[in-house]
Structure 1
């Protein structure tokens, strides 16, 4: 794993939201992407990552609506928000994660700049490494979702164990793709 060379508040990853995760993932693989194995968030969403050296694309869909509300902060729940986006017959990028190396400090900094946020979420996501070893990604988020523009908002994202995200085998895409630029 090479540590990502990300700038504070640079693009960590867009969330590409889809109705049928399995079909969309198959499409990404046909395009030549080498995604991470499917994994699940505690709030009822399913995810796969298309990794690049300094950022990634997160393909995300609804898995289990019964888990909506898990890790909710100030009424905001990722699963419910994602489902609301999809229920308007939309797919595509609905939020963008901004890179953070210290979610606590960056959350405080943005609030001191006048941004209103929903709060912070710390969570773990079970995942499997290419050799079959199970592990858990550890993530901290700071939510800054504008109620007036919920589909065009950002949140900060700190990966506490980047070696479990930037896995070399997940960066070997068959096509000549480029990392999304900041």
Structure 2
């Protein structure tokens, strides 16, 4: 029993050290099978998901209160494999990967990733698209017009730029609905605007 308590304490200290400078942390609880996820500065309406390596959502929860989020998860019940927590916020998505093997959960702080979402804004007939791509990730942009089904008007891929900014002028004579599809970091984002 002393060894279990001692090992749990070592795991807590290890995870606390790993996540000391992040806005999230993970630690084991008194119940050795639970992992405590702590997220700071979350906003009501953010979404937390647990996904498998194929991107299938296994768990999803809307954050109910702004501030700190603390919850225990029994991740040892998952089959052996790779998984990740995903915190979906207004402007970014943070992924925190972990693996399960023989009922043991392992987190690797170095594999955490923050993806900044593309921002789409319409002002009169101008569509502004911007994205922060710190690692110069590519951004695919497709603009569609709804004419009894969405028809592709424009498509381009932007690469090698950290601060991506594009402006598209929509034809003022084509009043109606437009669909803006952006793809980056293996994710697809869809925005609808009307002119």
The TM tier, using the shorter chain, reads under 0.3
Please identify which structure carries the higher helix content.
Answer: 1
Please identify which structure carries the higher strand content.
Answer: 2
